[in-house]
Homo-oligomer: A and B are copies of this chain.
């Protein structure tokens, strides 16, 4: 694997893992020293992360993209459009094996499962569902949207009830798909995404002061 790809991957992990806070300044030379690569692969990695929305240009320099509540709301609308479309496609599939694999993913989360795992699988549910549609563009749209939401979801304060509710909704979406009821699945997804967004934005607005105190830039909606 080339150094560019390594730098890109590691830097993405640090950003998504909040090891570098939203809104923090980045310099090419700091990254260079941090990862032991020269500026050429560092620049390439930054250019790609920019298209993912994880870093932004700040005048002449680089910044880890702040968390933007208005953006989160717009992403929800975008997700509703593309995930509903993907679900309608998936519902027409003969082969239900992909749905089994996704259901198994959900099953693997239980009482003792670490928070990290819930977060990852909660993301993968949506991404893998979109992948099943067979449409590369719908898939990439969902994957990229979930990547952009990842840090915000990580910072969200979720109670157990909310998680259980989300999982139940996931299961009913799968059931509708399995039965070939694409419109139902789409409607359930749209409602699920809307609910997630509302809880996410509310949580971040409540926590905003604390997050800023930790050095995390959170832009109001």
Binding site for B on A (CB under 8 A): 40, 43-44, 47-48, 51, 71, 74-75, 77-78, 80-82, 84-85, 89, 135-138, 141, 145
Q: How far does the Cβ of A66 sit from chain B's closest Cβ, in whole Å?
A: 15
Q: Are B71 and A136 in contact (CB under 8 A)?
A: yes
Contacts of A137 in B (CB 8 A): 74-75, 77-78, 145
The oligomer's copy count stands at: 2
Complex Cα gap A85–B77 (Å): 8
Contacts of A136 in B (CB 8 A): 71, 74
Most buried by B among A40, A43, A82, A136: A82
Which listed residue, B71, B74, B89, touches A77 by the CB 8 Å rule?
Answer: B89
Complex Cα gap A21–B87 (Å): 36
What is the chain B residue whose CB lies nearest that of A75?
Answer: B137
Contacts beyond the supplied A71-B136, A82-B141: 6 A-B pairs with Cβ under 8 Å: A44-B47, A74-B136, A75-B137, A77-B138, A78-B82, A78-B85
